[in-house]
Structure 1
Amino acid sequence: MLSPHEFATLMLVRQAPEQIDMNRAELDALLERQLAMLEHCAAGARRAYLTEKGETFLDALHPSDTPRRSRKTAGNGGGESTETPSVQDGRTKEIVAPGRAG
């Protein structure tokens, strides 16, 4: 099981590997668990990247290639729908909540 700091570091490796401090203990834990690897770049620089195991771990929690769907919640702009439109017969159709006029 990963600590919250290790999990945050794993997400940072995916999103912004150039911002990671290479001396972080959390990065060492990810390397030991084979969730991340180090790439040696020019001039002795190192860059962290996710292994297939690390990608699978993060994808199980929140796939990066699947768009997030917005949910309508109280106070999100006066009750306006933020739902994804549906496509029917090749034409986009707005989803309207029952009892509301579009």
Structure 2
Amino acid sequence: MLSPHEFATLILVRDAPDQIEASRAELSTLLERQLVALEQAERGMSRPRITPNGNSVLEACARMR
């Protein structure tokens, strides 16, 4: 189960990946659970992106409303 902060971070990765700092604690949990992956961005920096598993989690939560 994701904490509210981890869930919010997952949404941010989906909607605004450039707004997330790589040092954010919740990001490491999402990486461990393979809900988020890091990809190489411009200037050699890493950028988070949502994985298919992460997208499935968000879709399942959206269906519960």
What TM-score results when the alignment is normalised by the length of structure 2? 0.90
Aligned partner of 2:34 in structure 1 is 34
Q: Matched residues in 1 for 2:41 and 2:10: separation?
A: 20
- Give the number of the structure whose alpha-carbon radius of gyration is greater: 1
For structure 1, the residue ranges without an aligned partner over 5 or more in a row are 64-102
Q: How does 1:1-102 map to 2 (within 5 A)?
A: 1-62=1-62
Quick one: which amino acid aligns to residue 6 of structure 1? Answer: E
Identity %: 56
Counting helix residues as a fraction of each chain, which structure ranks higher? 2
Runs of 4+ in 1 over 2 A off after TM superposition: none
For structure 2, the residue ranges without an aligned partner over 5 or more in a row are none
What TM-score results when the alignment is normalised by the length of structure 1? 0.59
TM-aligned CA deviation for residue 43 of structure 1: 1.8
Question: May I ask how many residue pairs the two structures share in their alignment?
Answer: 63
TM-aligned CA deviation for residue 42 of structure 1: 2.9
Q: Matched residues in 2 for 1:6 and 1:59: separation?
A: 15
Q: Matched residues in 1 for 2:18 and 2:62: separation?
A: 22
For CA contacts below 8 A with separation 6 or more, give which structure has more relative contact order: 2
Alignment RMSD (CA, Å): 1.1
